[in-house]
Amino acid sequence: MEQKNVFAGNPLIPGKRSKIDSGALEFLLLKDEAVRAKGGARVLPVFDGRPLVVSSRSPQGVVVWSLCWQSLDRFGSKFHSSLSLGSLSEEAVTVAEEELVKKKYDKLVYLGEKDDVPFFAIDFSGVSTADSGRDARAVTQKLAQDIASVFTPANASEKCAFIDLRTLMVAADVGSKPAKEEVAIAGHARALLEWHKQAQFCSRCGTKACPLEAGQRRECSNPVCKNKSYPRIDSVVIMLVIDKERDRVILGRQSRFVPRMWSCLAGFIEPGESLEEAVRRETREEVGIDVGQVIYHSSQPWPVGPSSMSCQLMVGFFAYATSFDIKVDGEELQDAQWFTRDSVRKALTYTDYKRAEEAASLKIYNICSREKAASDAYAEQSSPMYVPGPYAIAHSLIAAWANAAPDSLLSKV
């Protein structure tokens, strides 16, 4: 059965259309009677890479959250008056009208289609004030709250807010297909919108690049150049290095990791390099270990990496070591060690990932309710070491090895 990591399994991508010109987009959004009969196109507001989310909490304390889709009517002629009802300043309302009404198609990206209904995301990051300095972050946060207050969830008793993707990632129940699909859609929306921020100018001549085909590509506005660009993906190999004879694996630590967390080795693929070559080179560079056989496991879109990269593609492998003396480079890695199967199994057993999921869900609810936010992270205190949660492909690689017979991975070649 195909491995479905978090951020994969997006139900909208299979419904993406190959080409949508401005006329087709206008018809699809406003005049397609078949679409309007189903409630019209759905739009997901996004602010600074954070999708709009609605959350509720049962009397028993169970938190439920989902993406807060809006009807396209919210972005038509009524949008200005709707904003006026919020607490935005007149200056922000004016900017909002220009950015999101007069230029709404420049801010709109097509996500795909499901049950003959098109889904889009719209970027609110252009709605900002001239404020800067030490209060810029507070101003931005207040603006995000004001914009979120404009939108009404399907249930009027609920509230919504813009939530960062990492919190949604941790809060997703990886055993729930609907929850994983919500996160996958949110990741796709964020990746597309972040890429548009990074690709506003032509990489060839520096002229303004304009979005086309509902945000599926950009084209240089210089009639002599007309260079086309498409959403960027940065490919990364991530590998679990295995010592078959001693039944152990290498896990590493970066300085930015939280205490006691260990993970797989990883690195970017160089131009002109195969995936297998990248696995061997990165392993040699980071820990001084030579690798022989390389076995593919699965891949994972990763739209929560550095801000300079709209989306990475993590390609996961098992890599079998042919040398065993670890020599940490000291730059990319702070430390790396061999861990036995028993120690890895204990880390997987003792770490309560469910509590981390519940803590992240509670944080979402608190933000939506404007209550005091829960802590950003949860780490199981009883575990001497732990590995990333089920939302990460590193976890999938480590758990697959820890729970498999020593030779079973090789038998899949």
DSSP letter string, 197-258: HHTSB-TTT--BEEEETTTTEEEES-TTT--EE----EEEEEEEEEETTTTEEEEEE-TTSP
Residues 6+ apart with CB under 8 A from 176: none
- Is 302:260 a contact under the CB 8 Å cutoff? no
For position 23, what pLDDT does the model report? 67
For position 84, what pLDDT does the model report? 38
| Distance (Å, whole) CA 160 – CA 175 | 24
For position 81, what pLDDT does the model report? 40
- Is 284:333 a contact under the CB 8 Å cutoff? no
For position 106, what pLDDT does the model report? 67
DSSP state of 269: P
Of 36-40, 243-247, 288-292, the range with the lowest mean pLDDT is: 36-40
Using DSSP, state whether 301 is helix, strand or coil: strand
Q: How many CA atoms lie within 13 A of 240 on its CB side?
A: 29
Class in CATH terms, 234-351+386-412: alpha beta
The answer on pLDDT for 303 being more than 90 is yes
Tell the burial category of 297 from Cβ atoms under 10 Å away from its Cβ (0-12, 13-18, 19+): buried
> What are the angstrom distances between the C-alpha of 272 and each of 59, 269, 278, 284, 296?
57, 9, 10, 18, 19
- Is 377:257 a contact under the CB 8 Å cutoff? no
For position 237, what pLDDT does the model report? 98
pLDDT band, very low/low/confident/very high, at 18 (cuts 50, 70, 90): low
Task: Please tell me the pTM assigned to this model.
Answer: 0.87
Residues 6+ apart with CB under 8 A from 181: 9, 10, 11
Domain ranges of the chain: 13-198, 234-351+386-412
The answer on pLDDT for 88 being more than 70 is no
The answer on pLDDT for 153 being more than 90 is no
Tell the burial category of 361 from Cβ atoms under 10 Å away from its Cβ (0-12, 13-18, 19+): buried
Average pLDDT, the chain: 83
The answer on pLDDT for 79 being more than 50 is no
For position 298, what pLDDT does the model report? 94
For position 80, what pLDDT does the model report? 40
Residue bearing the bigger pLDDT, 22 or 228: 228
Q: Which of 12-16, 101-105, 119-123, 310-314 has the highest mean pLDDT?
A: 310-314
> What are the angstrom distances between the C-alpha of 407 and each of 162, 239, 373, 411?
46, 17, 46, 7
Phi, psi values for residue 125, rounded to 5°: -65, -25
pLDDT band, very low/low/confident/very high, at 16 (cuts 50, 70, 90): confident
- Is 315:361 a contact under the CB 8 Å cutoff? no
Q: Which of 58-67, 68-77, 199-208, 209-218 has the highest mean pLDDT?
A: 199-208
Residue bearing the bigger pLDDT, 213 or 111: 111
Q: In this structure, is the dihedral angle defined by the CA atoms of residues 27, 29, 35 and 37, taken in order, positive or negative? A: negative
What is the percent of the chain where pLDDT is above 70? 80
